[in-house]
Amino acid sequence: NGLTFDPDGTLWLATDGGISAFDGKHWENFPMEQFCPEQRCSYGEAPITASDIDSAPDGTIWFIAQHQALYQYNKGKWTNYKNHTLFMHPYYQITGLCVSNDGIPWMVNSGMPQLVYVDGDNWVAPRWYYDSSGVIYDIQCAPDGAKWMGGVFAIFKYMPQN
């Protein structure tokens, strides 16, 4: 579903079963069950899966679960960031994740579409122009700070103001 390398060269994978890390010799697995609130590891009939993953320059790992929840792995600890109300509708799913050079996770949504990032405990939706030319499915953070988003009929660029 997604993969990334951390600064130490460890390969991290987002899979249907959870998160896995490979350091070149050994695998470490983090089953999805450990991320599920109140032991609920299904979404209707379907099991919850890890849908995208990225790493920050400091080695922090970020991943999306079932297109609805954001998690962070830092110094051996997992943190769940509560879902923003913009993504609570079942048609508004987080479809893409990237982490910028400053370590901030940015996400796009397939339903509106909407661009959001997490700043501490706050979810922020910056104002940006979108001409409704299709659904956005992925996002990449460029070294210059730009956020590139790709969708069905168009590619968009967002450049945050400093």
Task: Read off the pLDDT of each residue in 133-146 and give the average, rounded to a whole number.
Answer: 85
Whether the pLDDT of residue 155 is over 80: the answer is yes
Tens digits of per-residue pLDDT, 93-135?
Answer: 788 899 999 999 998 877 665 788 888 777 787 877 665 556 7
- Helix-strand-coil split of the chain, %, nearest 5: 5, 50, 45
Tens digits of per-residue pLDDT, 5-47?
Answer: 999 999 999 888 888 999 999 999 988 777 665 545 555 555 6
Q: What is the per-residue pLDDT for 39? A: 46
Type of residue at 76: G
Sign of torsion over alpha carbons 130, 133, 86, 77 = negative
139 within 8 A of 97, measured Cβ to Cβ? yes
